[in-house]
Structure 1
Amino acid sequence: MLCFKVVQEYERAVIFRLGRLLSGGAKGPGIFFVLPCIESYTKVDLRTLSFDVPPQEVLSRDSVTVSVDAVVYYRVSNPTISVANVENAHHSTRLLAQTTLRNMLGTKNLSEILADREAVSQGMQSALDEATENWGIHVERVAIKDVRLPVQLQRAMAAEAEASREAKAKVIAAEGEHQASRALKEAANIINESPSALQLRYLQTLSTISAEKNSTIVFPLPIDMLQQFMR
């Protein structure tokens, strides 16, 4: 007497006959049959699954304590191995992800963790994928979700960033004053070499003042003209 079973498109059935793995690999999708009391089977989901790695307290290479969490995306690549080689492939992958995250971050400086999360994620994904290959698991992606720093360190970093911004602003202001001083010096040299340039600048200033509709205009006289009247 046969017992008919059905597995979905995204499922496979791993069959054991009298405790031995049935040859031919996993069955499905569709209809298959088992012999009651002789054969048993386990359904395996082939869809991509995900889980959150709880926040891990890690001491970085430069002796800074950080709390980091992540998310892992994986799927079963070999249903037969995932059932026959490990008791619970999903639970084992979760535990391994936690230890791998701690080991990866322990080899990085704080600046590397904050500035290059993608490299940390890729390194963790490669390490996990290699370790879970014998379990029939393929790790598709690992993403670092959040990096939390101690409050004292956050304040120190904020103060350092503020000091850096103020220093840059002072440098920019000093460069602007230096350029303005150089331009004034060049203009003074040009006027000194050509007295007619001073007269043109004088006339331009008068034109600007008259355009502003002022009621009183003061006309400065050259010093050499006043000296002629004083003789």
Structure 2
Amino acid sequence: MTEPHSVEGLEMAEHKASESQSRPQEASTSVKIEGPMSLDSAQAPTGFSSFLIFISKLLTWVLFPFTVFFSVKIVQQYERAVIFRLGRLLEGGEKGPGLFFIYPCIDTYVKVDLRVVSFSVPPQEILSKDSVTVNVDAVVYFRICNTIASIVNIENANGSTRLLAQTTLRNVLGTKTLAEMLSHREQISAEMQRTLDEATEHWGVKVERVEVKDIRLPHSMQRAMAAEAEANREAKAKVIAADGERLASESLRTAATVLSETPAALQLRYLQTLNTISAEHNSTIIFPLPMELLGGFMSRSQPQPLVQSPGFIQNPPGYEALPQQM
């Protein structure tokens, strides 16, 4: 009964041993695949390389007065120098700013500018999400943040960043509608900056800022948008005028109600009207009269019905009107 268990135990032990042996290999392969080449580790020079280095150093010190012009180099405050010795990256990485020393014939160096560089992205003809063709240009600001990576990992960091900016502009704006392009420029610029920064990180490039300069529309689209904007403005103006008339009518109705209920208010309005008329240059003299007096005159001016006495005969029979004497 114990033999089957022992066989199973041996099989499990062999399986665990095979897994433990395969795991280090997988880890080593994953380390080799991840990321760009290792920049800090430098291979030891071979025997022939060591001999060439020794000869170069010896000749440099023997002929020092003459080799000083070829050995001493200067880089500015905004520059760094990446040195290669016999084609390999020199241990210690970058040099500068200021003076640094190289050995002729075996050392070469490349200067890298650390200042912020700006360039304009040429106008790109882009088809928006809502099938509108627009021409868009932008400006990109970037700088070198890792000098060794910008030399070792890519041939031309500046030119590659320019080309990548063009494709990124087309890809990002191709997912936006025309309204989003016109109203969300800051969000589009921020999205382009993040995309470029992630793509150029292993190149040693840091994208500082991206700005969309101009969005040019076709002439037919410009006319259509102008007509739409004009129609919207006219509609708003009509709505505002209608609201004004409504408010004015409500105010007039309230004023009429107040004037009808208060005679003194009507008298005050009458005096204000006289003041307005007299302010202008005219030859008419106006004498303000009380409203009560005008009311009395108005009542007297109305025709009174004739009241006839019972014995009064207006035109007796046989009466003839005499002709008037001129």
TM-score between both structures, scaled by the size of structure 2: 0.66
- Which of 180, 195, 217 aligns to 1:127? It is 195
Deviations 1:76-122 (A, max 9, x none): 11111100001111111111000011111112111111112121111
Give the 3 Å change call, closer, same or farther, for CA 24–184 of structure 1 in structure 2.
same
RMSD across aligned C-alpha pairs, in angstroms?
A: 2.0
Which range is displaced more, 86-95 or 25-34? 25-34
- Which residues of 2 match residues 36-51 of structure 1 at below 5 A? 36-51=104-119
The match for 2:300 is 228
Q: Choose 1 or 2 for highest CA Rg.
A: 2
State the SS of the aligned residue for 2:119.
Answer: strand
> Larger relative contact order (C-alpha < 8 A, sep ≥ 6)?
1
Aligned counterpart, 1:176: 244
Does residue 164 of the first structure (1) align with residue 232 of the second (2)?
yes
- Counterpart CA distance in 1 for 2:166 and 2:86 is 37
Q: 2:300 is aligned with what amino acid?
A: Q
Alpha-carbon offset, residue 9 of structure 1: 1.3
* Corresponding residue of 1:27: 95
Distance 2:281 2:159 in 1: 85
Percent identical across equivalent pairs? 65
**Matched residues, number:** 231
1:150 corresponds to 2:222: no
**Residue 76 in structure 1 maps to residue 148 in structure 2:** no
Residue matched to 2:171 = 103
Which sections of structure 1, spanning at least 5 residues, go unmatched? none
Q: Distance in 2 between matches of 1:210 and 1:85?
A: 92
Q: What's 2:155 paired with?
A: 87
Aligned partner letter, 2:196? L
Aligned to 2:207, which of 130, 136, 139? 139
The structure with more strand, counted as a fraction of residues: 1
Q: Secondary structure at the match of 2:93?
A: coil
TM value normalised by structure 1: 0.92
Could you list the runs of 5+ residues in structure 2 that have no partner in the other structure?
A: 1-58, 61-70, 305-326
Residue 78 of structure 2 corresponds to residue 16 of structure 1: no
- Match status 1:62 vs 2:130: yes
- Match of 2:138, as an amino acid? A
Q: How far, CA to CA, are the matches of 2:185 and 2:84 in structure 1? A: 44
